[in-house]
Amino acid sequence: MTTTQVVNPATEQVVTTLELVSAAETDAAIERAQRAGVDWRAVAPGDRARLLRRFAEAVDANLEQLAQLEVANAGHTIGNARWEAGNVRDVLHFAAGIPERLLGNQIPVAGGVDITFHEPLGVVGVIVPWNFPMPIAAWGFGPALAAGNTVVLKPAELTPLTAIRLGELALEAGVPEGVFQVLPGKGSVVGQRFVTHPAVRKVVFTGSTEVGKEIMAGCARQVKRVTLELGGKSANIVFADADLERAAATAPYGVFDNAGQDCCARSRILVQRSVFDRFLELLEPAVRGVRVGDPAAESTEMGPLISAAHRAQVASFVEPSTKVAFTGTQPDGPGFWYPPTVVLPDAPSDRVLTEEIFGPVVAVVPFEDEADAVRIANDTEYGLSGSIWTNDVGRALRVSRGVEAGNLSVNSHSSVRYWTPFGGFKQSGLGRELGPDAALAFTETKNVFIAT
């Protein structure tokens, strides 16, 4: 039996020790999910909707407990953790609208009637990273269950606690045994069986681009469906005509939220040259003012990084030769802390501009005009998110259309709403989650012609 220690990244204390699921246990769970699917897909749409609403209500009733678990397990600030648990509830309520609205078409044909059905895929495997354990899990399992699939879910080995609790809440809410199973284990064991077991018909993977490519290649062997949500290197583009005070005051939240461990982190701030110096002057107090510390305290704005190894990886981006403009603060004592850090890279090839950092380090670079801003923003293999700050609506739309990314916001850093589509261009992913079409990613369209 293999075990893992779950560590609180703010204190370095062990929270609990867990048994990890083996390959054989994964196979047994997949086969249980396959059997459970026979009855689950036959549940009347209204009854499936009611079960999902009850699941949502159970999450809401346990929202504070889930949030506290995430504070202890992932070091998320309590404010963020409450939002994340609330997002699971909202995704489930939204998903509860799906079963009764999974409409097909009636297509005019000669000699008969033609109708389409959205059939469930079967067993769906959801693989979740450690940075947002609750929402990312729900974006997969919510619509998948609603569309009549059964789900096996693998949380990240570092952050399994909220997923395990969500699995218990589903059962308490009346979701039948085997329909939604949470399997804490290693990616190389449990995640790999999702890829290779023929009964798993789709893999939803959120994580690094490197592992995402392996998953896609593995799934190709069985033409298995995949949704991939991968890395990012998003740009926050600030034009000279923007409300500079607001742009500078909010920029830290666009990149340092969740200590920068956010696929949508705006880790490149592009500032029009004519206001570059003024913007940095305004940014400095905003960065120094970010309240970094105990994630359980209500006023804290940024917590620790997830692990010592990850902190070392983030720190590797700030070399002795790196020009650091200014940094924020970090607490003393135990915990995987790293301060908010603003750097001024010398060349476009600087790692800090080309690689995902996934920590609280941001690079600020100047640009000349609209075309230059779009060129720099697109000079990356990634294409997940981005922000555009301007008071010119025409420019906002032109730049939004020009930037190759799936989720852009104008005069805002918001990327995620459960009722709007989310996903990446280029190597940031494949497919979309959330939004009005969320369920279609978990169905096959079947066409039936009836001769009359």
> For ligand TAP, which residue of 40, 55, 94, 130 counts as binding (CB under 6 A)?
130
Instruction: Of 206, 279, 269, give the one whose Cα is nearest residue 233.
Output: 269
Sites for ligand TAP among residues 336-375 (CB under 6 A): 356, 358
Residues in contact with ligand TAP, counted by CB under 6 A, come to a total of 32
- Give, rounded to a whole angstrom, the gap between the first and last alpha carbons of the chain: 61
Could you say which of 84, 229, 301, 356 is catalytic? 229
Q: Which C-beta is closer to ligand TAP: that of 229 or that of 294?
A: 229
For 42, what's the count of Cα atoms within 13 Å in the CB-facing half-sphere? 5
CB of 323 to ligand TAP, least distance (A): 25
Q: Which C-beta is closer to ligand TAP: that of 51 or that of 259?
A: 259
Buried b / exposed e over 163-196, threshold 16 CB at 10 Å, is bbbbbebbeebebeebbbbbbbbbbebbbbbbbe
Instruction: Of 310, 295, 17, 66, give the one whose Cα is nearest residue 7.
Output: 17
Q: What is the 3-state secondary structure (H, E, C) of 312-349?
A: HHHHCCCCCCCCEEEECCCCCCCCCCCCCEEECCCCCC
The residue type at 29 = A
Instruction: Of 134, 160, 185, give the one whose Cα is nearest residue 193.
Output: 185
CB of 35 to ligand TAP, least distance (A): 24
CA angle 85, 89, 92 (to 5 degrees): 135
> For ligand TAP, which residue of 275, 384, 408, 438 counts as binding (CB under 6 A)?
384
CB of 259 to ligand TAP, least distance (A): 13
> For ligand TAP, which residue of 80, 192, 272, 409 counts as binding (CB under 6 A)?
192
CA distance 439 to 146: 7
CA distance 227 to 66: 26
Q: Which C-beta is closer to ligand TAP: that of 211 or that of 240?
A: 211
Backbone dihedral angles phi then psi of residue 433, each to the nearest 5 degrees = -110, 170
Q: By CB under 6 A, tell whether 252 contacts ligand TAP.
A: no
Q: By CB under 6 A, tell whether 9 contacts ligand TAP.
A: no
Q: CA gyration radius for the chain?
A: 23
Q: Which C-beta is closer to ligand TAP: that of 37 or that of 424?
A: 424
Residue 64 known to be catalytic:
no
Sites for ligand TAP among residues 399-438 (CB under 6 A): 424, 428-429
Q: Which C-beta is closer to ligand TAP: that of 327 or that of 428?
A: 428
Q: By CB under 6 A, tell whether 260 contacts ligand TAP.
A: no
Q: Which C-beta is closer to ligand TAP: that of 211 or that of 249?
A: 211
Q: Which C-beta is closer to ligand TAP: that of 150 or that of 407?
A: 407
The residue type at 283 = L
CB of 129 to ligand TAP, least distance (A): 3
Instruction: Outline where DSSP puts E strands in 33-177.
Output: 106-107, 112-120, 123-127, 150-154
> For ligand TAP, which residue of 37, 120, 125, 129 counts as binding (CB under 6 A)?
129
Q: By CB under 6 A, tell whether 187 contacts ligand TAP.
A: yes
Q: By CB under 6 A, tell whether 186 contacts ligand TAP.
A: yes
CB of 138 to ligand TAP, least distance (A): 12
CB of 237 to ligand TAP, least distance (A): 20
As to burial, measured by CB atoms within 10 angstroms (0-12 exposed, 13-18 middle, 19+ buried), residue 77 is buried
User: What string marks each residue from 25 to 64 as x (binds ligand TAP by CB under 6 A) or -?
Assistant: ----------------------------------------
Q: What order of strands is seen across the sheet that includes strand 268-272?
A: 324-327, 341-343, 361-367, 268-272, 235-238, 385-389, 407-410
Sites for ligand TAP among residues 148-167 (CB under 6 A): 154, 156-157
> Which range, of 73-81, 224-232, 268-276, 331-339, touches ligand TAP by CB under 6 A?
224-232
The residues that are catalytic are 229
Interacting residues with ligand TAP (CB under 6 A) = 127-132, 136, 154, 156-157, 186-188, 191-192, 206-208, 211, 214-215, 229-232, 263, 356, 358, 384, 424, 428-429
